[in-house]
Amino acid sequence: MSAFKAEVVRVKLEPHPNADRLELAKVRGWQCCVVKGQFQEGGLAVYIPVDAVLPDALIESLGIRKNYRKRLRTIKLRGLVSQGLLICAGQDNVEGQDVTEALGITKYDPPIPVHMAGPVRSEHARFQKYTDIENWKNFPDLFRPGEEVVVTEKVHGTNFRAAKLDGELHVGSHRLSLVEDPANLYWRAAVLLGLKERLAEGELLYGEVYGHGVQDLAYGKKPGQIAVIVFDIIRDNRYLDYAAFAGRLAEAGWQHLTAPILYRGPWTPDIPKLACGQSVLCPGQIREGVVIRPASERFDPRTGRVILKGLNDDYLLRTDATEHH
Per residue in 97-155, pLDDT (tens digit) is 999 999 999 999 877 766 676 788 999 999 999 999 999 999 999 999 999 999 999 99
Which is the CATH superfamily of the domain at 114-317?
DNA ligase/mRNA capping enzyme (3.30.470.30)
- Asked if pLDDT for residue 325 goes beyond 70, the answer is no
Strand partners, 195: none
Identify residue 142 by its one-letter amino acid code: L
Torsion angle of the four alpha carbons 257, 173, 107, 56, in this order, in degrees rounded to the nearest 10: 130
CATH code that applies to domain 7-107: 2.40.50
The CA–CA distances, whole Å, from 105 to 108, 269, 294 equal: 10, 31, 33
CA angle 208, 211, 215 (to 5 degrees): 80
Per-residue confidence (pLDDT) for residue 3, from 0 to 100: 78
For the chain, the structural domain boundaries read 7-107, 114-317
Q: Which residues contact 235 (CB under 8 A, 6 or more apart)?
A: 200, 202, 203, 204, 248
Per-residue confidence (pLDDT) for residue 119, from 0 to 100: 85
Contact yes or no for 143/149 (Cβ under 8 A): yes
Per residue in 7-65, pLDDT (tens digit) is 999 999 999 999 999 999 999 999 999 999 999 999 999 999 999 999 999 999 999 98
| Helix/strand/coil for 322 | coil
- Asked if pLDDT for residue 285 goes beyond 90, the answer is yes
- Asked if pLDDT for residue 164 goes beyond 70, the answer is yes
Per residue in 203-258, pLDDT (tens digit) is 999 999 999 989 889 999 999 999 999 999 999 999 999 999 999 999 999 999 99
Per-residue confidence (pLDDT) for residue 110, from 0 to 100: 79
Per-residue confidence (pLDDT) for residue 324, from 0 to 100: 54
Per residue in 294-319, pLDDT (tens digit) is 999 999 999 999 999 999 999 999 87
Contact yes or no for 252/196 (Cβ under 8 A): no
User: Where does residue 182 rank: exposed (0-12), middle (13-18), buried (19+ CB within 10 A)?
Assistant: exposed
Q: Could you please report the per-residue DSSP string of 45-66?
A: EEEE-TTEEPPHHHHHHHT-GG
Mean pLDDT, residues 149-169 taken together? 97
Torsion over CA: 232, 235, 238, 244 (sign)? negative
Q: Report the run of H or E that residue 115 belongs to, with start and end.
A: none
